[in-house]
Amino acid sequence: MTNLADLPLRPDLVGRSPYGAPQLSVPVALNVNENTHPVPPEVADDILRRVGAALTEVNRYPDREFTALREALAGYLGHGLGAESIWAANGSNEVIQHVLQAFGGPGRRVLGFPPTYSMHAIIAASTATEWVPAERDDDFRISPETAVAAIERTDPDLVFLCAPNNPTGTPVGLDTIAAAYDATDGIVFVDEAYGEFMPDDAPSALTLLPGRPRLIVSRTMSKAFAFAGARVGYLAADPAVADALRLVRLPYHLSALTQAAALGALAHAPTMLGMVDDIREQRDRMAAGIEGFGYRVWPSWTNFLLFGGVADPKGLWRALLERGVLIRDLAIPGTLRVSAGTPAETDAFLDALAAVSAAPVGVRA
């Protein structure tokens, strides 16, 4: 059997490892920031009806421009956006790929601020775009001054900002985004995958779009809409950005079934988003419990928590797994990340953490 080393792989991909969080069968999986609340039955019924109707015409190609979906997404986002300003794809990862295919590529560079969403750098590599990391401020923040200094130092073609940031949960101020935009002639991409979990009074980067044709704001239906398995991501930007992405997308890239399912979920947006408050409540309950065991928890505007002061992250991760609770070790020294779950999952996590925190592996650093 041939192995990878025997194949004429692209040189810049040699030695790289594919992305992949552990996929383990456990009672409580809180490692990949999924919405652990299932789709409500009445919404699922309507989605099934719509998908069933789409199946009767699945012998034909889908609407290449996914017009109805773009109209529905524009209506959901508001902010005066029209369908011409919306783009969608199979998860926000494909949205990111389209952006990098159109505006990155060989000889171009994208600036990011790790620790951040790991797929930003991975997709940059897959599109032969140079990934240029810059340091954050204390507590994983990015000030306008820090962003501008990094841009002036590296002269990137794209700037990626994850707001709020994954895996730290920390926000990025609109002043930082605006300053970054003014400091570059390139694309500024703001990843708002967790936008619905921000405080109700926190403005979205969507408010910055008017007059900024090089600004892109992406969202996903995976998190707040409990649609991770459906793979629907989207962005809002100047209509010219959508024209650019048409140059690199594959024909008919969004299936008729995907479009039908997403339209069904969006038709019930208030019901779907009713889960957000419950998740925030469990997130805050988790934070209080974790802090009660002596760990540090960073403030989070997402559906997960990063906590630090862990003497042995790998050991604590294994000890929790042995008790049926899977969280995430992201190799950030002294830290682990846990997704907010249902009340029962919160109970299970806090009970497991209480049990292991008394053992040597759980001793605070």
Position 361 scores a pLDDT of 52
Whole domain around residue 87: which residue ranges? 41-268
Task: Decide if pLDDT at 363 tops 60.
Answer: no
Report the C-alpha gap between 253 and 23 in whole angstroms. 27
Q: Answer left, alpha or beta for residue 128, where phi above 0 means left and psi between -120 and 50 means alpha.
A: left
**How many domains, in total, are found in the chain?**
2
Residues 108 and 215 in one domain: yes
- Which of 268, 302, 321 marks a domain boundary? 268
The CA angle 78-118-34, to the nearest 5 degrees, is 60
Segment 276-320, tens digit of pLDDT: 999 999 999 999 999 999 999 999 999 999 999 999 999 999 999
Residue 328 has pLDDT above 60, yes or no: yes
Residue with tokens 């369908």: 83
**Residue after which a domain boundary falls, among 226, 246, 268:** 268
CATH value at residue 290: 3.90.1150.10
User: What's the average model confidence in pLDDT over 147-166?
Assistant: 98
Instruction: Answer with the one of 200, 235, 268 that is the final residue of a domain.
Output: 268
Residues 231 and 105 in one domain: yes
Reduced to 3 states (helix: H, G, I; strand: E, B; else coil), residue 304 is: strand
pLDDT value of position 187: 98
Quote the pTM value. Answer: 0.94
Using the predicted structure, report yes or no on whether residue 331 has a pLDDT greater than 80. Answer: yes
